[in-house]
Structure 1
Amino acid sequence: MAGKTENQQKVAKSGSRKRDIVRQTAYLPKAVHEQLRQLAFEERLKMHDYLIEGLDLVFAKRGLSSIQELMSTRMDK
């Protein structure tokens, strides 16, 4: 990426990843949200990390591909 600043290079690299990401809203009861927020704070993670972990558990329980497998398949294309 000759001629581009470091910041422009970062934006260009992240732009291709963002096209493969879809935003999804989840409606949670306040108590659930608060517990998730507290857990994320205590373990120094993002609430998103727990949602992804939960989805992986749902997929595994049903014999489906893990998120990691789905992401590596996408990256191979």
Structure 2
Amino acid sequence: MMIKQTIQNKGLEIKNSWLYWNVLRHSKQVLIIASAYFLYMLVRRYLIADIETVAVENAIKVTAFEFARGFLWEPSW
């Protein structure tokens, strides 16, 4: 009886250990993604001046490139 109870306790301990490491692993991944997003927003906000103007200029360059190569097309809605 005592051996069976010890085995059950060990099984519970292993399950709890597995759960702990699984949660820890996923928590690390969430922390990495959140940190990368925060860094992206920081760079976007403070290191690139006038981000909207840069985006529009890049869009104009892309459409000019597509038009020059002959594959610019816009669907008519």
Do these two structures clear the TM 0.5 threshold for a shared fold by scoring above it? no
Larger Rg: 2
Higher relative contact order (CA 8 A, sep 6+): 1
Scaled by the length of structure 2, what TM-score is found? 0.28
Higher helix proportion (structure 1 or 2):
2
Scaled by the length of structure 1, what TM-score is found? 0.28
